[in-house]
């Protein structure tokens, strides 16, 4: 295989993507062909699985709003569908009873775990913090992982499987602060990374490119470490 052929194959594989248009989900495969996956007109935030075989997305429903702990929101669902358009099924649904309060509502930022076996997502659950959840794509079991105002699932390097989130915490003497933290996939705190600031993005990229290359892979596995920070 020539270098040119290898480069072309790499570019072709990298072209696979998913996107939303007019409330519907689309998938572009490695050949450049685009297929419409949904037609509800109510779908958004599509994300591809690591193997490019599945897409997860958020569907917003009509109906009475529910209280999330922060504001009123329309009921929503998280779905998964094969990238060939088959096998669409619902993974998570927020309550639909009028006036009901639930932290499992107002979904955002769905992301597949690095092994594709589950999906992480956030909800508006409190005034100063979102909540992070994980849903198993096979069983539909939903597990709360605690608070966090940003979610990034790491898919490469020795930190693969870990999460980067923004944690809102309080000083013992009063006041609060926000830091980026590295968590295991079950929400346990491993280490703080950098404070929430205008330079944070650069530091996060450096962390993933450099620090994660020297971290023992076992640190990011569920239940492999005990929280050292409160």
**Residue 2: per-residue pLDDT:** 55
The per-residue pLDDT for range 129-172, each reduced to its tens digit, is 899 999 999 999 999 999 998 999 999 888 889 999 999 988 88
Which residue shows structure tokens 């495969």? Answer: 29
- The pLDDT tens digits for 93-141 are 987 666 566 778 889 999 999 999 999 999 988 777 899 999 999 999 9
With CA atoms as reference, report the closest residue to 185 among 155, 141, 215, 213.
155
pTM of the model: 0.84
- What whole-number distance in Å separates Cα of residue 108 and Cα of residue 97? 21
Q: What pLDDT was estimated at residue 224?
A: 41
Q: Which pLDDT value is given to residue 220?
A: 66
């Amino acid at each position: 295989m020539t270098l040119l052929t290898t480069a072309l194959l790499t570019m072709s594989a990298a072209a696979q993507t998913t996107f939303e248009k007019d409330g519907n989900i689309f998938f572009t495969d490695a050949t450049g062909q685009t297929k419409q996956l949904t037609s509800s007109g109510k779908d958004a935030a599509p994300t591809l699985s690591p193997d490019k075989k599945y897409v997860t997305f958020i569907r917003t429903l009509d109906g009475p709003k529910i209280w999330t702990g922060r504001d009123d929101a329309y009921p929503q669902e998280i779905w998964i569908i094969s990238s060939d358009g088959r096998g669409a099924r619902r993974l998570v649904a927020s309550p639909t009873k009028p006036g009901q309060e639930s932290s499992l509502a107002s979904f955002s930022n769905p992301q597949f775990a690095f092994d594709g076996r589950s999906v992480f997502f956030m909800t508006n659950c409190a005034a100063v913090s979102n909540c992070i959840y994980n849903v198993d794509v096979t069983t539909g079991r939903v597990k709360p992982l605690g608070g966090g105002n940003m979610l990034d699932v790491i898919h490469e390097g020795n930190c693969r499987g870990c999460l980067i989130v923004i944690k809102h915490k309080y000083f013992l003497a009063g006041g609060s602060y926000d830091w980026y933290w590295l968590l295991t996939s079950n929400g346990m705190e491993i280490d703080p990374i950098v404070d929430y600031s205008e330079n944070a993005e650069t530091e996060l990229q450096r962390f993933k490119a450099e620090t994660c290359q020297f971290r023992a892979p076992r640190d990011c596995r569920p239940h492999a470490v005990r929280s050292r920070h409160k």
